[in-house]
Structure 1
Amino acid sequence: MKTQHAITVCCTALLVCTPPLLHAQAGQRSPSVDSLLSLRSVGSVRISPDAHRVAYLVTNTDWQQDAFVSQLWVHDLRTAAATQLTRHESGVSQVEWSPDGGWLSFISMRVEQKPQLYAIALAGGEPVRLTNAGGGVSSYEWRADGGAIAFTSSPAVAMRKSRDTTLGGFEVVRRDFSMQQLYTIDVAAALGAPQAGTLRTPANAMYSVSGFEWSPDGARIAFSAATLPDAPSANTADIYILGLAGNDVRRIVAQPGADGDPHWSPDGRQLVFSSAMGEVRGNYFRNTRLAVVDAAGGAVRSITSQFDEQPAFVGWGPAGVYFAGSQKTASHLFVADPVTGKVSRVTGPEAAMIGGITLDRAMATAAFVIASPDALPEVAVSPLAQFAPRLVTTMSTQVRDWRLGSREVVKWKSRDGQEIEGILIKPRDFDPSRKYPLLCVIHGGPTGIDRPVLPDARYYPVDEWVNRGAVVLKVNYRGSAGYGEAFRALNYRNLGVGDAWDVVSGVDALIAKGFVDPAKVASMGWSQGGYISAFLTTSSTRFAATSVGAGISDWRTYYYNTDITPFTVQYLGADPVADPAIYAKTSPIDYVRTAKTPTLIQHGELDRRVPIANGYQLRQALEDRGVPVEMIVYKGYGHGITKPKSQRAVMQHNLAWFNHYIFGDPLPDFTRAGAPVDQD
């Protein structure tokens, strides 16, 4: 007997400042793959110390050099004038203001493809190169008086190049790392000539520096460091303070689990940092906390225990410690009282989607990126006292003549009664009396999340299918971010199984509404989403076709080959030898005997996160059983496909696969150069 599932549409009233571009689109054009990939986007927002200007990056698609290139812009909030400050083909990243607001600094790979630090005067002129670090610059921060900059770099990069010259290239597994060390430069000297930097952490230190911050008086630097700079060592990160007068290092937080990203209180007497609060097993799905400790050391105290999600530090001001966090599909700015731990939401309305938040020196004005179901993400500013966002960019004009589907949050009950949410994307001329094909798009993570935002184009051109007459469901399955620790922990010893319940119950709920054709349902996803699609491929016959992007087919294969082995043990509770049954229960390959679903497998050639053996294993097992299967390997890529031409290939391959199995188009020969065609 088929179980019926009720599905509910949730209201998503969003900020009034986002332009309603997509309400009437009759006769407008459907975007192609190339159009989607060519959209300009904004990010890396930084408000000036005096709140008069906002700096941000605009990312463009450079098809000629096959790269996404970000350039620096500044918007004057008093005159509304926007100025592009950089144009070099290498682009820029990690933008910061100098403390006096007279300079903007950034990292760029303009010489020898090595990241170095640059600064450009707001008054104009060419960027000045500040560093000549042998290992390049990973991250940096200005001292409060603007006279010095601290940065991290790895001298081992240069050392390894010397070794390779003599012995050729090799790697000693889990020992051959580029440890990050902390350096400082004098800004006045660097403006005269690039500086290599003065090493501040001990040259023989048995740790790798990650997050760091200058003390308000500039005499100390707080930093976090782990024993090795790899994911399995994340639990070893502790908090240290470096005294610059004598380069003495003191560890002030040493507890089990990861502690990182330290920031000073305004008076320099305390530190706030991200902490697992002693949790070692389960930190992949347990809440981290913002915690405080005296700069002299002592007890560690959580100040965000009232917040049931993952807090990300933004700033510490008179009102308390500001942090960003998710609440279901919304994202907001919050403030925590560092004494009582009381947490209050600063931004609104409830369904707002705000990210990349920065605050001015007075902690009175915020700049951020705001998203919406009806507009592209835009840079915006608002006073904190009375939150009222004002847009400073106009990215959404790019899609003014596009026909894009409507986005709404829906929810349903899964097989075990757990409430699940998702994003339903429908044609603008949606008719509930019709029967539509349904394509399920599943995010990665598992602690990722889908929101009702534009654009919607990474790997899967959903709006092309919507415009062709399909509906799309993006499932925030158990384990997704935004729904609290208990929801994320539902994945424990139930990976794949519970996730499949959530997807299939969502499909059933939409079928029960009467507008989905049950014979034309498909599934696709990348990373953890690829794993869930692989699980649905082998454990279900509900789907007409699937696409498995960088997905796990066998947790045993994954465990022994991945670069994040602890992930597997924390979610499954044991290694494959100790508990082979849990690995069989959660591995798609163990259900392949009954598989019948045509499957497209996509994988990066050099993937260390989900090693490509998973893809080959699934392909062979499906072929052995006569299941239609294609596997495409994207050369030179790891876990993500990062260049526009190869993203074009990924999207066009998916477009052709589902256009065949869902819409009945001929399936092109993927070996032919011009087979999938969807270019402007």
Structure 2
Amino acid sequence: MKPYLTMEEIISIPRLSEPAVSEDGCKMAWVETTTDWDKNEYPEHVQVYDTRTETKITLETGSASSNSPAWSITNRLAWLGLRDGLGQIFVLAEGKPIQVTSIKTGVISFQWAPDGEGIYFIAPDLKCQEAFEKRKELYGDFSYAERDRTWNSLYFTKIGSDEDLIKANSTPKDLRPEDQEPERKLLGDENHHVLGFAVSPDSRSIATIAAPGSDAEAKEDAKVYLFDMPTSELKELPVPKPLDNSGMVLFSPDGNKICYGKPINEGKWLNVTTLEILDLRSGDVSRPLIDLDECTFPVRWSDKGLVFTIQRRTDYYVYMIDNEGKIVPLLDKPGTVSLSAAVTQKGDSLATLTATRDKPFEIYLNGKAVTNQTRYYDSKTLSHKEVVTWQSKDGTEIEGILITPPDLDEKKTHPLLVVVHGGPTWAAFPTPTSNLYYPYEQFVERGFILLDVNYRGSSGYGDSFRKLNYRNLGIGDYEDVISGVDMLVEKGLADRERVGIMGWSQGGYISAMCATYSTRFKAVSVGAGISNWYTYYVNTDITPFTRHYLGDTPWNDPEIYAKTSPITYIRKASTPTLIQHGDQDPRVPYPNAKELYRGLKDKGVPVELVTFKGMGHNPKKPGFHRAIMKQNFAWFCHYLLGE
């Protein structure tokens, strides 16, 4: 039998993202993230592929990071590259990367002007940052909670011809013509933190979504505006709150309509969001995709129609609303997962990042793969992945991915590991293994079977399913998990006495709940998980999340915070627990790990707390991913296999 992928091989497989296709359909660009073990980092670089010559080049900008490739209407390529730790825009001119911005706050995102002669971009406001730097210089470094307002602004920079860019790049700044000097601020202030924007086809108007601040609370009050370029007038459009939190907005090709995302029903974070279209002339509003009952993610409003992606259970498809309002499938073959897409303005070329049940994620152009990720898997034995369903305690149908050896012996029972994804609005997909937290392939090789659960609240199953964990976090999730375990035990596949569970973020929270709320598990791994909703509420960077899922603040409804917190059940805990957490985590702050650790330790429960120094909510270094994998492998092999 061929060997399974090792942990190091999984981490070393390049990861692809952000496909972009040139307007003539002849070139592709995407981001490839590789692994540098010596520097302990993940360099990411833009790749450019020419379909005519079938050749690929890597864009080098002298930094460890380049991303966000975008083609102009005239087939010029721009991207973001790091300079002194900040993102700056580069343009490919006659095969050479030329830096075209040098804003001190760094660029967050950008778009080409419709005519291809300039670039609009979002950046932290320069004057705002300068004011804070001046205060720091005078008094030292301090901040006022919720009073120190920061915001992003929208800027424009003119882009000359390739010849002009090369000439300017070789000329001292003080000798360059004024029209080649940098960026011009268009809009943004303390009451208008720019989240996203779109430029009208005639470049006379900019539709923008802006909030009265940059924190999660302020984003709840984001509004849609129209900025008139000739007069610099900013006009609020008649779009009731709330919006989705993506900041996405698009213009129709004729410039008469815009679209943006709106949550349906109550407008909570757990609700499905749909596309809403506003006619700028009549004021009419429509929601053409409301009946799809799942989040839709717009790609582009092309001349042929509005292209979008949508998750359907464990598949991800690409569709289009054509100019007659009909929903047309562009890529909806069962078993495909297309996580991102790009389309030309004419709508005649489609690029996707797509995986299937037996093929890893590749970049495709009009259905043809232009990458070859399969070479990393071809010489290996791969685990078998199958979609399974079962009923939870309340009768809700739950789906998950059963992961087994390809030659599974169904006549014997096996140690079972449950995997719980984060989110909660995300899902597990039956695609070849690429998980960097848990060594699926090594576990399978060692004799485990795994169940990756799409518990209530997961994406892809409609609005009603998403809302099932409202004021029911942890409790309903536990029932979904344990009913899946029971299903495999009843089938004779899983050993009831050898079951473990592991997860990161929301998955870590559910794992923590299983460690204290239940005695059914032999071992647990909690990655960046919540242990106490009180602690989380007052420390996280997304405070509204808690209110949206639990329905109130801990001061008004302490009972629901206690009911759904793993720490509440610590007195009956007995399950050996591995806790992995970054000490710089802003999303699930580190005190959550310390509380769970101290509670289990005081109870005499076997517990290990691993603190990753300088790490945020997710690891950014291959060494950390390797350590996390190895620690989990050792933990479960010890407690479930006795090693």
Q: What TM-score bracket applies, with the shorter chain setting the length?
A: over 0.9
Separation in 2 of the partners of 1:282 and 1:611?
A: 26
Separation in 2 of the partners of 1:354 and 1:312?
A: 12
1:163 correspondence with 2:149: no
Q: Which residue of 1 aligns with 2:11?
A: 37
TM-score, length-normalised on structure 1?
0.89
Q: How far apart are 1:644 and its partner, in Å?
A: 1.2
1:82 corresponds to which letter in structure 2? K
Q: How does 1:114-125 map to 2 (within 5 A)?
A: 114-121=86-93, 123-124=94-95
Q: Which residue of 1 aligns with 2:430?
A: 452
Change (3 A) 1:553 1:36: same
Q: 1:59 aligns with which of 33, 38, 57?
A: 33
Q: How far apart are 1:339 and its partner, in Å?
A: 7.0
Contact 1:303–1:339 (8 Å) recurs in 2: no
1:197 correspondence with 2:183: yes
1:550 correspondence with 2:528: yes
Change (3 A) 1:178 1:297: farther
Q: How far apart are 1:237 and its partner, in Å?
A: 1.3
Q: Which residue of 1 aligns with 2:611?
A: 633
Q: How far apart are 1:221 and its partner, in Å?
A: 1.6
Q: 2:351 aligns with which of 362, 367, 371?
A: 367
Q: Secondary structure at the match of 1:627?
A: coil
Q: Which residue of 2 aligns with 1:320?
A: 305
Separation in 2 of the partners of 1:63 and 1:231?
A: 36
2:200 corresponds to which letter in structure 1? S
Separation in 1 of the partners of 2:623 and 2:105?
A: 29
Q: Which residue of 1 aligns with 2:174?
A: none
1:245 corresponds to which letter in structure 2? P
Q: Secondary structure at the match of 1:134?
A: coil
1:598 corresponds to which letter in structure 2? P
Q: Which one is further off, 285-294 or 152-161?
A: 152-161
Q: How far apart are 1:319 and its partner, in Å?
A: 4.3
Q: Which runs of 5+ in 2 are unaligned?
A: 170-179
1:106-165 CA deviation, whole Å, 9 max, x = no partner?
11113x2121111113x42x3100001121111111111111111111113344334333
Contact 2:335–2:357 (8 Å) recurs in 1: no
Contact 1:45–1:356 (8 Å) recurs in 2: yes
1:523 correspondence with 2:497: no
Q: How far apart are 1:488 and its partner, in Å?
A: 0.3
Separation in 1 of the partners of 2:555 and 2:87?
A: 43
1:139 correspondence with 2:109: yes
Q: Which residue of 2 aligns with 1:9?
A: none
Q: Which one is further off, 548-557 or 81-90?
A: 81-90
Q: Secondary structure at the match of 1:541?
A: coil
Q: How far apart are 1:304 and its partner, in Å?
A: 1.5
Separation in 2 of the partners of 1:337 and 1:286?
A: 26
Separation in 1 of the partners of 2:585 and 2:207?
A: 34
Q: Which residue of 2 aligns with 1:222?
A: 207
Q: 1:651 aligns with which of 623, 629, 639?
A: 629
Q: How does 1:542-581 map to 2 (within 5 A)?
A: 542-581=520-559
Q: 1:79 aligns with which of 48, 53, 59?
A: 53
Q: How far apart are 1:479 and its partner, in Å?
A: 0.2
Q: Which residue of 2 aligns with 1:108?
A: 81
1:274 correspondence with 2:261: yes
Separation in 1 of the partners of 2:512 and 2:373?
A: 36
Q: Which residue of 2 aligns with 1:236?
A: 221
Separation in 1 of the partners of 2:165 and 2:154?
A: 17
Q: How far apart are 1:205 and its partner, in Å?
A: 4.9
Q: How far apart are 1:37 and its partner, in Å?
A: 1.0
Separation in 2 of the partners of 1:402 and 1:195?
A: 54
Q: How far apart are 1:481 and its partner, in Å?
A: 0.3
1:261 correspondence with 2:248: yes
Separation in 2 of the partners of 1:629 and 1:484?
A: 38
Aligned identity (percent) is 37
Q: Secondary structure at the match of 2:511?
A: helix
1:206 correspondence with 2:187: no
Q: How far apart are 1:190 and its partner, in Å?
A: 6.1
Change (3 A) 1:100 1:404: same
Separation in 1 of the partners of 2:131 and 2:371?
A: 44
Contact 2:586–2:617 (8 Å) recurs in 1: yes
Contact 1:330–1:451 (8 Å) recurs in 2: yes
Contact 1:116–1:132 (8 Å) recurs in 2: yes
Q: Which residue of 2 aligns with 1:677?
A: none
Separation in 2 of the partners of 1:595 and 1:638?
A: 28
Separation in 2 of the partners of 1:292 and 1:282?
A: 17
Give the superposed CA RMSD.
1.8
Aligned residue pairs: how many?
Answer: 625
Contact 1:496–1:535 (8 Å) recurs in 2: yes
1:174 corresponds to which letter in structure 2? E
Separation in 1 of the partners of 2:27 and 2:55?
A: 10
Separation in 1 of the partners of 2:409 and 2:612?
A: 39
1:106 corresponds to which letter in structure 2? W
Separation in 2 of the partners of 1:83 and 1:306?
A: 43
1:165-213 CA deviation, whole Å, 9 max, x = no partner?
33322222223343000110110176625743101115x4511001112
Q: Which one is further off, 152-161 or 586-595?
A: 152-161
Q: Secondary structure at the match of 2:42?
A: strand
TM-score, length-normalised on structure 2?
0.94
1:348 correspondence with 2:336: no
1:363 corresponds to which letter in structure 2? G
Change (3 A) 1:545 1:354: same
Q: Which residue of 2 aligns with 1:540?
A: 518
Contact 1:220–1:244 (8 Å) recurs in 2: yes
Q: How does 1:246-257 map to 2 (within 5 A)?
A: 246-257=231-242
Q: 2:440 aligns with which of 438, 456, 462?
A: 462
Q: Which residue of 1 aligns with 2:320?
A: 335
Q: Which residue of 2 aligns with 1:505?
A: 483
Q: How far apart are 1:353 and its partner, in Å?
A: 0.9
Separation in 2 of the partners of 1:400 and 1:462?
A: 17
1:428-450 CA deviation, whole Å, 9 max, x = no partner?
22110122111111001111111
Separation in 2 of the partners of 1:599 and 1:452?
A: 28
Q: How far apart are 1:401 and its partner, in Å?
A: 1.8
Separation in 2 of the partners of 1:206 and 1:645?
A: 42
Q: Which one is further off, 259-268 or 362-371?
A: 259-268
Separation in 2 of the partners of 1:297 and 1:584?
A: 50
Contact 2:456–2:477 (8 Å) recurs in 1: yes
Contact 2:63–2:82 (8 Å) recurs in 1: no
Q: Which residue of 2 aligns with 1:97?
A: 71
Separation in 2 of the partners of 1:456 and 1:145?
A: 40
Change (3 A) 1:58 1:148: same
Separation in 2 of the partners of 1:158 and 1:392?
A: 45
Separation in 2 of the partners of 1:523 and 1:169?
A: 43
1:541-572 CA deviation, whole Å, 9 max, x = no partner?
11110001111111112112222121111111
Larger RCO (CA within 8 A; separation ≥ 6): 1
Separation in 2 of the partners of 1:87 and 1:37?
A: 24
Q: Which one is further off, 71-80 or 643-652?
A: 71-80
1:368 corresponds to which letter in structure 2? T
Q: How far apart are 1:337 and its partner, in Å?
A: 5.4
Q: How far apart are 1:663 and its partner, in Å?
A: 2.1
Separation in 2 of the partners of 1:571 and 1:158?
A: 38
1:308-327 CA deviation, whole Å, 9 max, x = no partner?
11111112235432211100
Q: Which one is further off, 308-317 or 491-500?
A: 308-317
Q: How far apart are 1:79 and its partner, in Å?
A: 3.2
Q: Secondary structure at the match of 1:473?
A: strand
Contact 2:19–2:29 (8 Å) recurs in 1: yes
Q: How far apart are 1:299 and its partner, in Å?
A: 4.1
